[in-house]
Chains A and B, each alone.
Chain A
């Protein structure tokens, strides 16, 4: 293990991608993730990689589509309004089964909204902001160290399943600095890509990357194939942190930065004799349903806390399936749920019969 470095989240995203073997980055400036592009612009030129500042988010995701077609490890990063623009390309990439890593450092919306942190992209990333039946693997890191590890992992998962993978952070995760300890060598899952369009070299039939299937039965068969892949991802790739849930009076669920606020609440509550558990989804898709099923009847109630008006809470309620109450607390506009407000709701739930 090497030494611990103090680095900004956005720079760690870029460094992790480089360590994962990404040599192709296409992006367009938008706050609060621009440092990813700054880092990439500098490093790629130094190491002979590819950095292109595209004319738009739309162009950037399509450049990623092109690079991914050739089998290269490729990444783009943006923030909420930019991700909205990329949705067309994301849907096409999911259908064409192109491995790629997309980073969304979420800011508050809707509309141009603001540049402060938020988690209001859950729907557009987890439920699909683009058209059609598709899923993206979505990782939601909550610390800089985890951000690094998940970015590297994301490239492996993308290659393994031929699927776009998203790193969903919030503005704070991109902007904050914390210690990160890089491994001497990354675990890189080397996957053969015989499907890549790199030229036939007159040695094989031509490869085609496409997302269009005009015949109903052909498209349905392709959809069935995608769905089978998604079931395999659900079975193998779900990640979750369960903390203090055994015998908890209240279980709070949150992801990303908000989960860290909840960890402070857990300490505060313990001083008052209230046992608070945390279920922190690390993959938002696949959603860690099993953890919620396991503890569904343990606490007096569940509380879902988000920097949104209530998005992940829908999946929590589906997972709890009526077996317990699920309260929600959210802040929007770039405001962050406070320890004090969460604690007040925790007390109220803990006092229930």
Chain B
């Protein structure tokens, strides 16, 4: 099984970091992984996306042409990438920021008010992790244990105090229906 995940949203939402957490946790789980960021002109325009592949087989192209999952953290990202999701694939959106529905009807859609939930937890930056909680619950792409280890190795030590809250946010996302 190869999880081919596209994560997309505004710059500043932590899109690239979200992808990094998943790729790192996947590596710790013993999977083959790749993480490919957008670094082109769209980055300068304030949007960000990355392609993350996690699976048991060797990673072929790091560029995803058939996504098993799309995480859209804003409206334009949904519109731009929904066509890349394979039939039967998954789209997860931050309902707080994505007012539109996908045009695709052959995919499974999960709309999570992640930003609102993050505010309830006291920090808007948790929105990404809430979404990743749902991703992990749906796909088992990585283990929660190694997700926490990944947070610890990627986040600067000065941010480590946030990790228990991040893990709580992950749990909230997983439980959201």
In the complex, A touching B, CB below 8 Å?
A: yes
Contact A263 B39 (CB under 8 A): no
Quick one: CB contact mask for A174-191 with B, threshold 8 Å, 1 for yes? 011111000000000000
The yes or no answer to B62 lying at the interface (CB within 8 A) is yes
Closest to B43 in A: A115
- Report the separation of the CA atoms of residues A32 and B39 in the bound assembly, to the nearest whole angstrom: 8
Query: Could you jot down 15 A-B contacts, CB within 8 Å?
Result: A32-B39, A114-B40, A115-B41, A116-B39, A116-B40, A116-B41, A172-B36, A257-B63, A261-B60, A261-B63, A263-B60, A338-B65, A339-B61, A339-B65, A340-B65
The yes or no answer to A41 lying at the interface (CB within 8 A) is no
The yes or no answer to B32 lying at the interface (CB within 8 A) is yes
Interface residues on B, range: 20 to 34
Interface majority SS (helix, strand, loop, mixed), chain A: mixed
- List of B residues within 8 angstroms of A260 by Cβ: 59-62
- List of A residues within 8 angstroms of B36 by Cβ: 172, 175-177
Contact A179 B27 (CB under 8 A): yes
User: Contact check: which of A171, A176, A179 meets B32 at CB < 8 Å?
Assistant: A179
The yes or no answer to B33 lying at the interface (CB within 8 A) is yes
Interface majority SS (helix, strand, loop, mixed), chain B: mixed
Contact A177 B65 (CB under 8 A): no
The yes or no answer to B72 lying at the interface (CB within 8 A) is no
- Report the separation of the CA atoms of residues A116 and B34 in the bound assembly, to the nearest whole angstrom: 18
The yes or no answer to A334 lying at the interface (CB within 8 A) is yes
What is the count of residue pairs linking A and B with beta-carbon distances less than 8 angstroms? 65
- List of B residues within 8 angstroms of A171 by Cβ: 39
The yes or no answer to B14 lying at the interface (CB within 8 A) is no
- Report the separation of the CA atoms of residues A179 and B24 in the bound assembly, to the nearest whole angstrom: 9
Report A's interface with B, CB cutoff 8 A. 4, 6, 31-32, 114-116, 171-172, 175-179, 257, 260-261, 263-264, 267, 334, 336, 338-340
Contact B60 A172 (CB under 8 A): no
- Report the separation of the CA atoms of residues A171 and B37 in the bound assembly, to the nearest whole angstrom: 11
Contact B33 A257 (CB under 8 A): no
Closest to A144 in B: B34
- List of A residues within 8 angstroms of B24 by Cβ: 6
Known: A31-B39, A115-B41. A4 touches B65 (CB 8 A): no
The yes or no answer to B20 lying at the interface (CB within 8 A) is yes
- List of B residues within 8 angstroms of A172 by Cβ: 36, 62-63
- List of A residues within 8 angstroms of B66 by Cβ: 339
What would 8 more interface pairs be, CB under 8 Å, given A31-B39, A176-B35, A261-B60? A115-B41, A116-B40, A177-B20, A177-B34, A178-B59, A261-B63, A264-B65, A334-B40
- Report the separation of the CA atoms of residues A353 and B66 in the bound assembly, to the nearest whole angstrom: 32
